Amino acid sequence: MEKTIVLGLQPIDDPTLRQGSIVTPNWSDAPNPPTEEDPSVVVLHVIRFHDGQADDEMVKYQNGASPVATEQGLNISGWFGVEGTVVGDGRPWHQARFNAFPSKKAFMEVVFDPDRLVAQKEHRETAIADTYTMILRPRFDQIFESVHR
């Protein structure tokens, strides 16, 4: 249980909502579409921000990372503010973000993209004090539908 994290969450706005439309990508057109060997993934980021300018720096990072992520088929399933930690190791968290990709290969293309890496170094590392990331392959993914009804 010492590695378990259970959080109380509430939905928050994501860039999809700020753009005024919710678009579910057609993953068959993605450069790395889902296959039987490499099905879709949901990447869970649990984040604690630095105090201060974290919001501005994170937006700058997102602006730098979103072109390659969108090209690879990113679909924001849901972003959540943390109301509290029910079970954990004592670290405080601010957000949990569920980002869906058509395949693990698509996500890894984003991870190693040179422009995204520059944005990470300049802005993400400045914004984030701590993060925990897991790559999930859920059998049932209803997050997007439950958040965007």
Q: Residues 55-108: pLDDT tens digits?
A: 889 999 999 999 999 999 999 999 999 998 888 788 889 999 999 999 999 999
102 near 36, Cβ under 8 Å? no
The values of phi and psi at residue 129, to 5°, are -85, -35
Q: Is residue 20 part of a domain?
A: no
Q: Is residue 42 part of a domain?
A: yes
Average pLDDT, the chain: 88
Residue 30 pLDDT > 80: yes
Sign of the dihedral through C-alpha 17, 124, 127, 99: positive
Q: Is residue 51 part of a domain?
A: yes
Q: Is residue 38 part of a domain?
A: yes
Looking up residue 119, the CATH number of its domain turns out to be 3.30.70.100
76 near 15, Cβ under 8 Å? yes
How confident is residue 20, by pLDDT bands cut at 50, 70 and 90? very low
The crossing angle, in degrees rounded to 10, of helices 54-71 and 104-111 is 130
Q: Is residue 85 part of a domain?
A: yes
Q: What is the reported pLDDT for 1?
A: 46
Q: Is residue 3 part of a domain?
A: no
- Per-residue pLDDT reduced to its tens digit, 103-134: 999 999 999 999 999 999 999 999 999 999 99
Residue 53 pLDDT > 70: yes
34 near 27, Cβ under 8 Å? yes
Q: Is residue 57 part of a domain?
A: yes
How confident is residue 45, by pLDDT bands cut at 50, 70 and 90? very high
Report the number of distinct structural domains present in the chain: 1
Q: What is the reported pLDDT for 58?
A: 92
Q: Is residue 147 part of a domain?
A: no
Q: What is the DSSP string of 104-137?
A: HHHHHHHHT-HHHHHHIIIIIHHHEEEEEEEEE-
Q: Which domain holds residue 120?
A: 9-14+31-137
